[in-house]
Amino acid sequence: MAELPSRGILESLPVAVLVVDQVDAIVFANPSAEQFFQTGVSTLLRSALPDLVTEDNPLLSLISKARKQESAIREFGFRMSTPRLPTRSVTVDCAPLGSAHEHLILSFHEHASAGRLGGALTHKDSARSLRGMAAMMAHEVKNPLSGVRGAAQLLEKSVPFEDRQLTRLIIEETDRICKLVDEMDAFTENPRFERDAVNIHEVLDRVVEVAKRGFGGNMTIHQEYDPSLPPVFGNRDHLIQVFLNLVKNACEAAVEPDTELHITTKFRHGIRLAVQAARSRLDLPIMVTIADKGPGIPEDLQPNIFDPFVSTKMEGTGLGLALVTKLVDDHGGIIDLDTGPDGTAFHILLPMQKNGETASDDDR
């Protein structure tokens, strides 16, 4: 068989491919890379990799790792940010090339979910991985902890009075960890939840009532509802939890005197989510927005706020938004986010109930 032209193969690949030398200068770029970076091949060939990505981009540390290990690395769910384009979630492959590994070949596969809504979608991955971890934690951590707590209680009776603060500390700390694990139980795999017609305004009224009696006592809450909104196909308790977490965050973000909070509902046409396994699309016409006038979410935190244990608060668990993601995901919904120095708005898009639909989550 005649030898195939390797350069031609690389050029016709539908994925973006770059080759860089020892000092990260680009020595090869295919037409897909041109599209991916929205930069012509000739400009790419005059650039170095650090010119293409933002300064703090983890790509640079990824390639130095591949160089050090002298082996290929693949990273999924990579947040690719370039100075010219919005952040995208991609899979990056990075492999040393040549006998002396003097070059590195990089390929970038963009995930199907593009754009801002897609950005929100990728947060589902964090909720999914958390589910597995929650099940493991409940099993591996809670059982031994109850033994530790019991032993500390027994010890408490026999140790001298001045040492009791130590046994108290053990008991209090085991209680705290148990509580955390209980909260994480809410993430366990495939919860069978009933779904039915839910009046989203009744859900939101309930959330406002809870907020006003507690954490939102000082807030002015405006409720702007679309009265013609059809019912959501959902689970009332779970939806209350979703909006309670979002309203609580909004109240906590508010800084006097800007203590206004807007809760809005709208019917939006044309928002669809591709359900890949079912090769179908799910309509998500019901949009609920929770908007505050707080200082916004810092840019460096934005890619991670939906991940568990990410919190900027002294007493925060960082599980609030991870749980919101998981519950919205269970409904087949989407979370979108607008944030800036004048405030933050979380938009939740949910499916409506079609005629006579009632179900558990099996037939989503």
Ligand X SMILES: Nc1ncnc2c1ncn2[C@@H]1O[C@H](COP(=O)(O)OP(=O)(O)OP(=O)(O)O)[C@@H](O)[C@H]1O
Residues that bind Mg ion (CB under 5 A): 249, 320
Residue 69's binding partner out of ligand X, Mg ion, none, with CB under 5 to 8 Å set by partner kind: none
Residue 152's binding partner out of ligand X, Mg ion, none, with CB under 5 to 8 Å set by partner kind: none
Which one of the spans 3-11, 91-99, 162-170, 242-250 is the region binding ligand X (CB under 6 A)? 242-250
Taking CB under 6 A as the rule, does residue 312 contact ligand X? yes
**Per-position x/- string for 264-293, each x denoting binding to ligand X as judged by CB under 6 A, each - no binding:** ----------------------------x-
How far apart are the C-alpha atoms of 291 and 220, rounded to whole Å? Answer: 12
How far apart are the C-alpha atoms of 206 and 154, rounded to whole Å? Answer: 44
Is the Cα dihedral 158, 159, 161, 164 positive or negative?
negative
Nearer to ligand X, 178 or 310 (CB): 310
Taking CB under 6 A as the rule, does residue 216 contact ligand X? no
Tokens of 138: 């409940």
Judged by CB under 6 A, which of 216, 294, 332, 351 binds ligand X?
Answer: 294
- Nearest to ligand X by Cβ — which residue? 320
Residue 43's binding partner out of Mg ion, ligand X, none, with CB under 5 to 8 Å set by partner kind: none
Taking CB under 6 A as the rule, does residue 313 contact ligand X? yes
Nearer to ligand X, 152 or 321 (CB): 321
How far apart are the C-alpha atoms of 200 and 240, rounded to whole Å? Answer: 9
Taking CB under 6 A as the rule, does residue 311 contact ligand X? yes
Taking CB under 6 A as the rule, does residue 303 contact ligand X? no
Let me know how long the chain is. Answer: 364
Residue 305's binding partner out of Mg ion, ligand X, none, with CB under 5 to 8 Å set by partner kind: ligand X
Nearer to Mg ion, 110 or 183 (CB): 183
Taking CB under 6 A as the rule, does residue 186 contact ligand X? no
* Residue ranges that bind ligand X, judged by CB under 6 A: 245, 249-250, 253, 292, 294, 297, 301, 305, 310-313, 316-322, 344
